[in-house]
Chain A
């Protein structure tokens, strides 16, 4: 069978780095092919060349047997290739429909929004990609936004779909829905290129797996020929062990107590509907749930950037409800935010200033008026080596570091203040295996020191591996608590879709 897309001898050189070296890659009609590799292995670079965002240094690309030059995404779209990026490219104040038809040649001068809407609704039904077509983008959850991106690509008649780390922002259930859609698309004869570094999902949905490491194709396999352990070894180049913590033995005093908390979302509706929970020192409470079920609002309220509608938060017995971020920091609460690039760092300023941004106004980093940059740099240098932050110098703007190193810098800033309580939201999203292991081990270390941790994650494995107790959120309500290993993955999955813990037996 002839390949729909065939990339031959592809090489891509960035100044100082060879991102892809002599890569051969094919995609066939009616298959899901996974492009598996760690962050920085060159998966996205390869696909950005296919999508016309990067120019290749060497090699040839054939589409349906014909040699092509793709020098812009427009060329790619004309060839029926569509890409769904990790970071969405949607216009926030526009509606779903407006975003889908935006920039299409067929629009003409007067928009036929009703026709478009009918057509989009057909697509929604056919591919099970449900979104309210009249909602504005900023009102949507991450999973919904992704559906809009996919609709956008399908609407342009793409029959090769590239999905870049598509599940990185999704929850197990949302991912399941995505997989259903992908299977429908595959059965229609479309080719799906699925970029991922998550072994389980690659194993679950792909027909063929191409493994990339350091810019080269290491091998090709399929779920029937291999197992997860071997696949991991292929990807990383050595044996991989997930960090699984033992249940904490030193659970101590009450650190955080949340009482009957209510909070609104950006859209204005009640996103948290009366949550109550406690975190004790020396324990990790994992928050499981499908994204958009109140996790973000919970994070914002505890972090001090959102005032709750009602309810109370106590830290060491003191009522801290509605405190400013500054006060929250000074109480000794560490925050690892979900949106690390937007809230966690100030990318343009140097690493050393980012490291001290939560404590620059205390001794020895300043006096009444001036900052003591010598102390600040010394401190930043000691932390970069302690936390293994790889950078040539602490003078570099923080944004120039890789995702893993940026997260380590945030971790360094938080942990160096020896917080009594940490709220960590999606702490390893988008990070490679090495960085993920490192962050996990540091969180467990903090727990051993007696820190209480609230771990919010959409990665259910992360929750199961690290948490001493698990709280499941659905629709802004607590579906129940579970001790470590008390409930199965499936039972927690049921709770994540709205089954109360007490009702689990009836469902089963």
Chain B
């Protein structure tokens, strides 16, 4: 018997329905794959997924926690989306987040006699600048010296995280608890809570404003056009007079600053002090979110909420079913892989050869 042959062809255009459907397929596929793993543990995958969603959305407390988790994810997600749009492969959102958290803590523990709104604005500004400076180093190395950005951004994560650990073990260690954590930031430096009896804080407003600004930046501004053109084809953009060196550096700067805001929010809105594990990998999840969202800032909000659900719900599910909450990490990893596969389908189609 002759097996049917298949041919892979480049697509001439991508239908809109497919653009929407591909991430959905990716999520479904990852659920199926994760289910197989759960079955190996002799547990019921349907009950596991039901409990994830119930835990994240079914109760008031769950929903509030989901929003709390969504907040930093939106910021790292949009930071990575912007960077990838300009083909600056920023794998360093995690380190930039820590840079922001570090800077916000520094400002917060100075206990300045400032009115709260001003203090918060100062934290945000200093945090953004810290992340921007941390992000721009690999940007400059790439733009000026063609150093691989994937490697530099990734490695700089460790540098920043160990820097934070060093400071927390040393000069900033809280003298009262003697844990490796900073002292509390000033109360007038805390983000206000938005919803009573919940941990939902002002950070979500910061995140949504960031989404709106990035959307406008990419769609309507000169710099946005330069970022898109450079990302689309940098040799041509350079030939056609766009300063691609400057564009890559600015992309890295803004992306780093945005990721840092996630760290500012975690310190000033949630924990009020700095710890060495303030982020359980929000920076890396941001990469998955950006891919799932097709680098579209608006879709980043949806993708972040989805991951907020998975992360929050996994804890609940774990308590109910006894399956480890690390299954949330598996879902994340598999979604990244399936989404990368789906992206191939976005560019190519497979059809049966005649």
Contact = CB atoms under 8 A, between A and B. Distances in A.
B233 A346 contact: yes
Interface in B209-247: 220-223, 225, 228-229, 232-233, 235-243
B42 interface: no
B13 interface: yes
Interface in A358-388: 358, 360-361, 366, 369-371, 373
A126 interface: no
B353 interface: yes
Interface in A377-420: 400
A369 B222 contact: yes
Nearest to B231: A348
Contacts of B232: 346-349
B354 A55 contact: yes
B249 to A, nearest CB: 16
Interface string A337-364: 1000011111111000100011011000
Contact of A342 (B221, B235, B354): B235
11 contacts: A57-B354, A71-B7, A72-B353, A305-B238, A305-B239, A325-B239, A330-B241, A342-B233, A343-B236, A369-B223, A371-B225
A330 B229 CA distance: 19
Contact of B235 (A335, A343, A358): A343
A152 interface: no
Given A360-B222, A371-B222, A342 B240 contact: no
B146 interface: no
A345 B241 contact: no
A321 interface: no
B197 interface: no
A343 B239 contact: yes
A358 B226 CA distance: 11
A179 B76 CA distance: 59
A326 B243 contact: yes
B12 interface: yes
Interface in A66-82: 71-72
A186 to B, nearest CB: 32
Contacts of A348: 232-233
Interface string B127-166: 0000000000000000000000000000000000000000
B236 A400 contact: no
A358 B240 contact: yes
B239 A326 contact: no
B7 A325 contact: no
A325 B229 CA distance: 15
Interface of A: 55-57, 71-72, 303, 305, 324-326, 328-330, 335, 337, 342-349, 353, 357-358, 360-361, 366, 369-371, 373, 400
B240 A71 contact: no
A369 to B, nearest CB: 5
B94 to A, nearest CB: 29
Contacts of B240: 325, 329, 343, 346, 357-358
Contact of A353 (B223, B229, B238, B243): B229
Contacts of B5: 71-72
A71 B354 contact: yes
A400 B13 CA distance: 8
The 7 A-B pairs at the shortest CB distance, nearest first, are namely: A55-B354, A326-B241, A343-B239, A71-B353, A329-B241, A348-B232, A357-B240
Contacts of B236: 342-346
A379 to B, nearest CB: 15
Contacts of B237: 346, 357
Given A55-B353, A56-B354, A357 B242 contact: yes
Given A55-B354, A72-B7, A371-B225, 5 more contacts: A305-B239, A326-B242, A337-B239, A346-B237, A353-B225
A71 B221 CA distance: 48
Nearest to A327: B241
Most chain A Cβ neighbours within 10 Å, of B225, B240, B243, B354? B240
A105 B354 CA distance: 25
A343 B354 CA distance: 37
A344 to B, nearest CB: 7
A347 B236 CA distance: 9
Interface in B244-268: none
Contacts of A353: 225, 229
A335 to B, nearest CB: 8
Given A349-B228, A400-B13, A55 B221 contact: no
A400 B220 contact: no
Given A72-B353, A349-B228, A400-B12, A357 B222 contact: no
A10 B257 CA distance: 60
Nearest to A373: B220
Contacts of A369: 221-223
Contacts of B7: 55, 71-72
A305 B235 CA distance: 9
A305 B239 CA distance: 6
Contacts of A55: 7, 353-354
Nearest to A368: B222
Contacts of B233: 342, 346-348
A415 to B, nearest CB: 15
B354 to A, nearest CB: 4
